[in-house]
Amino acid sequence: MGGGHGTAVSLRALRLISREVTGVVSVADDGGSTGRLRAMLNVAAVGDLRKCLCALADPENPLTASFEHRFTVGELTGHAVGNLLLVGLIDATGNLEESVRAIAQVMGVTGTIVPASCEGVVLVASTEEGPTRGQTSVAKASSIRKISVDPPNAAAPTVAVEAIENAQLLLIGPGSLFTSVLAACVVPGITQALAGTRGRKIYVANLRPENPETAGFTLQDHVDALLRHAVVPDAVLVDTSSVFAEQPCSLPLIVADVVGRNGMVHDVQKLSQAVMASLL
């Protein structure tokens, strides 16, 4: 559950445990290559979908190797090959889910990648300064209280809802709390499915607060934000070296070594092992 690099790491970790993995991915991004394509073609955000497709794709597939390639000349500068392929399919077919499914089949994806909503959505935040619209603008805010999506009645794909309801384990995060993790969770159908699932829900905390989105946040502040949006994890997983490891939390805490060598991102193998240990 979520978007961006964090969700891609979680997907890779889960694939070491099971081949039956589903990524439910936010389509609210409006920055960079994705934002430019949304503005031109009025399509859903595809950048996070691209990252997650690559996470579960066959590494030997030639398309997988080129999917993240970015052009460096002319009007194509900054655009990733995967983004262009995805928006091309969406523009031609008018169907977001089918386009993602078609690309996944060609790339030899093991598992399923599905958008959190059936259409592109705009992220809306309630802040102390007033409402803020658009993921890029929301990410720059520092007093976010609550977020939602526009349209407010955006439908969640049936595949996503059923995957959540039937899952044995759900990893929420890591990633930007409001603009990635909750951006996927606040789609109404997704929120309802999370409330109704019997699967074990683990929130994978970031390694540190994110400036400015969660600057100064304690671990409990992160948890409180999830709870305000009706996302109720069964446990919270934090890295042993994180500032959060020594902080109190109202939810059961799992403390494990899950950081990568560079100290900036979670390690796939370590995260997989920590998740498995939490299920024993």
Angle, alpha carbons 140-141-143 (nearest 5°) = 155
pLDDT single digits (tens) 194-230: 999 999 999 999 999 998 899 999 999 999 999 999 9
Q: CA 272 to CA 15: how far, in whole Å?
A: 9
For residue 69, pLDDT over 90 is answered with: no
pLDDT score recorded for residue 174: 97
**By the 8 A CB rule, do 274 and 260 touch?**
no
AA identity, residue 207: L
For residue 273, pLDDT over 80 is answered with: yes
Give the chain's domains with CATH numbers.
Answer: 4-279 (3.40.50.10680)
Give the confidence band of 279 by pLDDT, cuts at 50, 70, 90.
Answer: confident
**By the 8 A CB rule, do 189 and 21 touch?**
no
**By the 8 A CB rule, do 113 and 53 touch?**
yes
Q: From 121, 103, 111, 127, select the one nearest 189 (Cα to Cα).
A: 121
Give the confidence band of 248 by pLDDT, cuts at 50, 70, 90.
Answer: very high
pLDDT score recorded for residue 4: 83
Distance set, CA 115 to CA 47, 238, 248 (Å) = 11, 26, 34
pLDDT score recorded for residue 142: 78
pLDDT single digits (tens) 101-110: 999 999 999 9
Mean pLDDT of 15-24: 95
Peptide bond preceding 151: is omega within 30 degrees of 0, i.e. cis? yes
Mean pLDDT of 29-52: 83
Mean pLDDT, the chain, as a whole number?
A: 93
For residue 249, pLDDT over 90 is answered with: yes
For residue 270, pLDDT over 90 is answered with: yes
For residue 77, pLDDT over 90 is answered with: no
Give the confidence band of 158 by pLDDT, cuts at 50, 70, 90.
Answer: very high
